[in-house]
Structure 1
Amino acid sequence: MKKSLTCLLVLATIFNATSQKKTDKKEGAKLPYDASTVSSLSFRMVGPALTSGRVADIAVHPKNKDKWFVAAASGGLWYTTNHGITFSPIFDNYGSYSIACVELAPSNPNTVWVGTGENNNQRSVAYGDGVYKSLDGGKSFVNMGLKTSEHIGNIIIHPTDENTVWVAAYGPLWSSGGERGVYKTTDGGKTWERTLFVSEETGIAEIAIDPENPMVLYASAHQRRRHEWTYIGGGPESTLYKSTDGGKTWREISAGLPKQDMGRVGIAVAPSDPNFVYAIVEARYGKAGVYLSTNKGESWSMQGDFNTSGNYYQEIMIDPLNKKKVFAMDTYLHHSEDAGKTFVMTGESNKHVDNHAIWIDPDNTDHWIVGCDGGVYETYTHAKEWKYYSNLPIIQFYKVTTDNATPFYNIYGGTQDNNSMGGPAATTNVAGILNS
Structure 2
Amino acid sequence: MKFKMYPVYALIMCWSLFINLNAQEAKKGPLEGLAFRSIGPAFTSGRIADIAIHPENENVWYIAVGSGGVWKTINSGTTWEPIFDKESTYSIGSIVLDPSNPSTIWVGSGENVGGRHVGYGDGIYVSHDDGKTWKNMGLNKSEHLSTIIVHPEDSNTIWVAAQGPLWNKGGERGVYKSTDGGASWKKTLGDEEWTGATDLLIDPTNPDILYAATWQRHRTVAAYLGGGPGSGLHKSLDGGETWSKLTTGIPEVNLGKIGLALSPFNHEVVYAILETERLKGGLYISKNAGQSWTKQSNTVSGGTGPHYYQELYASPHKEGRLFLMNNYVKVSEDHGKTFENMNEKGKHVDSHAMAFKASDPNYLLFGTDGG
Matched, 1:297 2:293: no
Alpha-carbon distance, 1:169 to partner: 1.1
Report SS of the residue matched to 1:148.
coil
Q: Identify unmatched segments of 5+ residues in structure 2.
A: 1-41
Amino acid at match of 1:88: E
| Partners of 1:103 and 1:320 in 2: CA distance | 18
- The equivalent position to 1:95 in structure 2, one of 88, 95, 116, is 88
2:44 to 51, 74, 77: 51
Cross-structure match for 1:322: 318
Q: 2:203 corresponds to which letter in structure 1?
A: D
Instruction: State the TM-score, normalizing by the size of structure 1.
Output: 0.73
- Alignment match, 1:180: 173
**What is the aligned counterpart of 1:169 among 152, 159, 162?**
162
Paired residue for 2:97? Answer: 104
C-alpha distance after superposition, 1:41-91 (max 9, x if no partner) = xxxxxxxx6533211111000000111001111011000112111111100
CA shift, 1:152, in A, is 0.4
Whether the aligned pair in 2 keeps the contact of 1:286 and 1:305 (CA below 8 Å) is no
1:374 Cα deviation from its structure 2 partner: 1.1
Q: How does 1:62-73 map to 2 (within 5 A)?
A: 62-73=55-66
Q: Does 1:118 pair with 2:111?
A: yes
- Is the CA contact 1:120–1:310 (under 8 Å) kept in the aligned structure 2? no
Q: Structure 1, residues 170-204: CA drift from partner, whole Å, max 9, x if none?
A: 10000000011111111110111111133411100
Q: Which amino acid aligns with 1:269?
A: L
Confirm whether residue 254 of structure 1 aligns to residue 247 of structure 2: yes
Verify the 8 A CA contact 2:270 2:289 in the aligned structure 1.
Answer: yes
Query: Which residue matches 1:331?
Result: 327
Matched to 2:336, the amino acid is G
1:257 deviation in Å? 1.0
> What is the deviation of 1:271?
1.6
Please identify the structure whose Cα radius of gyration is greater. 2
Are 1:146 and 2:139 counterparts?
yes
AA aligned opposite 2:254? D
TM-score by length of 2: 0.86
Cα shift at 1:237: 1.2
Q: Percent identity?
A: 50
2:63·2:71 contact (CA, 8 Å) conserved in 1?
yes
The alignment status of 1:264 with 2:260, answered yes or no, reads no
Q: Is the 8 A contact 2:259 2:312 kept in 1?
A: yes
Q: Counterpart of 1:311 in 2: which secondary structure?
A: helix
AA at the equivalent of 2:335 = A
Task: Report the Cα offset of residue 286 of structure 1.
Answer: 9.5
Counterparts in 2 of 1:194 and 1:325: CA distance versus 1, 3 Å:
same
Counterpart residue number, 1:191: 184
Q: Which secondary structure state, in structure 1, belongs to the residue aligned with residue 306 of structure 2?
A: coil
Q: Which amino acid is 2:345 matched to?
A: S
Q: Does 1:208 align with 2:204?
A: no
- CA drift of 1:151 comes to 0.4
Match of 2:125 in 1: 132
After TM superposition, the structure 1 = structure 2 runs for residues 212-231 of structure 1, keeping only pairs within 5 Å, are: 212-231=205-224
Between the aligned partners of 2:210 and 2:62, the Cα distance in structure 1 is 25
Following the alignment from structure 2 to structure 1, what is the Cα–Cα distance between the partners of residues 269 and 146? 22
Q: Which amino acid aligns with 2:118?
A: V
In the alignment, does 2:303 pair up with 1:310?
no
For 1:378, the equivalent position in structure 2 comes to none
AA aligned opposite 1:273: N
Q: Which amino acid aligns with 2:233?
A: L
The answer as to 2:331 corresponding to 1:344 is no
Aligned to 1:240: 233
Residue 363 of structure 1 is matched in structure 2 by 359
